[in-house]
Structures are given as structure tokens and as C-alpha cells.
Amino acid sequence: MLRLMRRLPGLPLPPALTLLPYLYRPFPFLDAMGKRYPEGFTLRFPAMPTPAVVFHHPDAAKEIFALGADDAHAGQINAVLGPILGKTSLLLLDGKEHLRQRKLLMPPLHGERMSSYGARMIALTEASIATWPERERFPVHDRLQAITLDVILRVVFGIDEGELFHRLRERLVGILELATNPMFLLPWFQRDLGPLTRWNTLARALREADEMLYGEIRRRRASGERGDDILSLLLDARDEQGEPMTDSELRDELMTLLAAGHETTATALSWGLRWILASKSLGARLVRELETEGALPGLAPERIARCALLDATVREALRLQPVVPMVGRVLQRPARIGGYDLDRGTPVLVSIYLIHRRPDLYPDPTRFDPDRFLRQRFAPHEWLPFGGGIRRCIGMAFALYEMKMILATILARAELRLPLFGKVREVRRGVTIAPSRGMPLVMERRAS
Ligand code: HEM
């Protein structure tokens, strides 16, 4: 058996004391670790038999992302999400099964189809802005999350009104809100300890949502009703053996797309807005670009999609505050990563956050500077907010497109500013890192 030839250092603390700052002060914790251990470090978490090895050099990320389906698995790392997403969720599968599901899910989230979603994204954003209060402080994160949830419900199910939509939406909001408690990332807290506990409430909401999801799957299968939504495409999808997806596979993938696809995008949007509003000139430059590209006043999706500075702004927001700060794999065979020989069974993590803050890649890394993306192209192991390799986020194109549509609509339709007081911090919401206090801002006036 191979041993670590050179050992990576780690904090000389009991696992529970490492977990707390990781859960509650993730960015300062990672900053301190990155400074102290420039080559990478090990992390020991409670109930984890083998310490995880964290790398924050882009070359190591490249090596990890190049690992094949049989070399490394991610399902084990994502297992905490199992009770909510289901055991056939793409996030939990590995090997051949993972590749099969990924192929089935890919087409609706790519290329041509994107443009058919643009007008709906813009309309939902305009409808939301119409309800924002004027000249008073309000948390925008919830509003953005409602927009991204409605987008994903529409795109995934093809429904945006009616009783089912409202009931399902209500249950999902409840589930996702409860699931953002960082404690639920720990298997110990994923237990039903009686009717008054949060896990019990979560389990009940999940049962009710499942009933609706299975009901809709069966109804659509039986009626043959199809639209331009993802469920329609998945109902007709066949794998290489000509087999369709089962009801429970469909349920798990729908839940996965809903859960993975809206909170992440809303959080990235909150950070993006914060930086645009903190800058003296960026908002005006973005509006000028929309005008020059002919995207205003009508908000034409294909013209918004062409705006280079808007694209750079979205990328820079995802660089500076990557919503998911770390991704991981468990080695299924020994491998050499970052010059270290690692045993089979070792969890290897890529710190997206620390790579994004390397001054050798991004000079003056804590500064929000979208122009760096206009001056330079970054490799997939240098800019990696969506992870990489065969597990890279399948919603990447969708999320980037959606962020541009929503930000352009907000810039065109609302005059916003940051409140005079109150610093925004990074706080954990489940697996994502979001702005504190729901990212408060003030709308001075609505534009027509
Ligand atoms: C700004 C928004 C988003 C961010 C930052 C984000 C980030 C990520 C990351 C870091 C991963 C793990 C990748 C890895 O392990 O290498 C991931 C996986 C995934 N994401 Fe996203 N995501 C976003 C939006 C979306 C959207 C809109 C969808 C679907 C509509 C989605 C669906 C998924 C799925 C299904 C996976 C699992 C992929 C697999 O295991 O093969 N995500 N995402």
C-alpha cells in the first residue's frame, strides 16, 4: 500500500474544533489555512475516517479534474444531501450510472435551448421588481431566490401557474429554507427526534412534495402531455440500452435540479449586485453597454447575452465570492496529486475560493475588477466556480445566462443603492456561502 511520501500538514486541533470555523466562518478560516499552508493542507472532520486533503494550486485542481469516472468518486462527498435529493440524484451517483444520468440531463440545459428561456427570465424579474418597496431598506436575496425558483420551476416542469405550482412551490421553499441550516450537513442531525424538531418538519414537507412530484410525473406519463420543459424531455429520454428513466430517478433528478439550480444562482446574483452597487462607475458602464448592444429599451435576450462587460461582471462576482467554496472527490485508486502520493480512499478537495484569491493569477485579488476578464482568458482550473471535469456543474451555461438576464433587467428597471449602514458578511446557507442579513439594499425609484 502506498503511503503519503511527503505528508501535508494540518491543524493540530480536534476535528470538532476544525469543523466549527469551517461551518460558520468559512472564508476567514480558509484564508488563514491558505496562508499558513501554501502547498495544501489536511482537514480532519468528525466521523471522517480519513483526513481530507485540500489543494489550492491550479495545477492540483487540473490533476483532480482529470481523474476518470473509476479513479475518483464524488457521491460519497455529497452523501449528506441524500435524504433530500434521493439516492439516484446526479450529485450522489458515481461511475457508469452517473455518466448515464448526466447524458440524459445534459441536452435541456445547453446551447440553443437557452435562448427560449430568456424572455421568461426577464418577465419574472420585471414582475418581481414591480413589488419591491421604494426608498426603504429591504433584503433582496429572498426576492432573487423567488425569481430563480420560479425560473427553474417553469423550465423544469413547464408550469408557472395553477394550484399544483403554488402548492409545490410552497413546499419546496419550506424544504430548501430548512435545509440551509449548516447543522444539517452533519449526519448526526439528520435524524427524526420527534414532532417538534426541524428534521421532522423537513421530512414531512419532503413527503408532501414527493406526493406532488410523483403525481405530476404519472399524470404526464399517462396523458402524453409534453412541452418545452425538462420533465417533458426526460420523460422521452432513452439511455444507450433504450431504457427510459424510472419514476424515482425522475423525482430525484427534478429535486436535484431545483435544489442545485436556484439558491446557488440567487446567491451569486446577490453578490454581483452588491459589487455593482459598491462601484462608482460600473452600473453606468453596464447600462451604456446594454444601450450600445441594442439590448435597451426592450431587453432583447440575445442582445443581453452578447454584452461582454456584463459577462465579465458575472464571472468576477463568481470569482470573488464563489458560492460553493470547495468541491471534492474520494480517490478510488492511489493517485499523485500536487506532487503527493495519496492512498485509495483519500478525500481530495479543491479550494475554489483560495484558487480564486491567488495573487499570481488574479493581481490584487480582493478587489472587484470585472475588467480582468476582458483583458485575459482564464483556464478551467484557474476560474472554477462550477467545479470541473466529469462532475462540472451541468447548469453552468444556464446559470451564467440567467444571471445576465436578471442583472440586465434589474439595471434597466430599477435605480438601486446600498444602505448607508450595515456591513455585509459571508454566511453559510447549507452548502453555499451567501451575504448576511439577506443582502439589504434600497430602491430609489423604479424605471419605466
Ligand atoms: C451560479 C450558480 C451555480 C453555481 C455556482 C453552481 C456550482 C456547482 C458546483 C461547484 C458543482 C460541483 C461540481 C464539481 O464537483 O466539480 C455543481 C454541480 C451541479 N450543479 Fe450547479 N451551480 C450553479 C447553478 C446550477 C444550476 C442552474 C443547475 C441546474 C439547473 C445546477 C445543477 C447542478 C447539478 C445537477 C450538479 C451535479 C453535477 C454532477 O455531479 O455531475 N447548478 N454546481
Q: Residue 409: pLDDT above 80?
A: yes
Instruction: Answer yes or no: are the C-beta atoms of 70 and 394 closer than 8 Å.
Output: no
**Beta strand residue intervals within 238-346, DSSP E:** 326-331, 335-337, 340-342
Looking at residue 38, its amino acid is P
What is the rounded CA–CA span in Å between residue 320 and residue 115?
A: 27
Which residues does ligand 1 sit against, CB inside 6 Å? 74, 90-91, 102, 109, 256-257, 260-261, 264-265, 268, 323-324, 327, 385-388, 391-395, 398-399
Q: What pLDDT digit, counting tens, does each position of 360-393 carry?
A: 999 999 999 999 999 999 999 999 999 999 999 9
Q: What pLDDT digit, counting tens, does each position of 30-86 carry?
A: 999 999 999 899 998 777 778 899 999 999 999 999 999 999 999 988 888 888 899
Listing DSSP states for 41-75 in one string gives: EEE--TT-SS-EEEE-SHHHHHHHHT--TTTEEST
Looking at residue 345, its amino acid is G
Looking at residue 75, its amino acid is G
> Looking at residue 49, what is its pLDDT?
78
Query: For the whole prediction, is pTM greater than 0.75?
Result: yes
Listing DSSP states for 364-418 in one string gives: STTS--TTHHHH----TTTS-TT--GGGS-TTHHHHHHHHHHHHHHHHHHEEEE-
How many C-beta atoms lie closer than 10 Å to residue 336's C-beta?
A: 11
**What is the 77 CA–ligand 1 centroid distance (Å)?**
14
pLDDT band at 184 (very low <50, low <70, confident <90, very high): low
CA angle 316, 263, 426 (to 5 degrees): 60
pLDDT band at 311 (very low <50, low <70, confident <90, very high): very high
* CATH code of domain 81-319+364-446: 1.10.630.10
> Looking at residue 237, what is its pLDDT?
86
Of 83, 88, 7, the closest CA to residue 42 belongs to 7
Which range has the worst mean pLDDT, 224-228, 303-307, 329-333?
224-228
Pocket of ligand 1, candidates 71, 113, 393: which has the most ligand atoms within 8 Å of its Cβ, to mutate? 393
Tell me the three cell numbers of residue 320.
Answer: 470573488
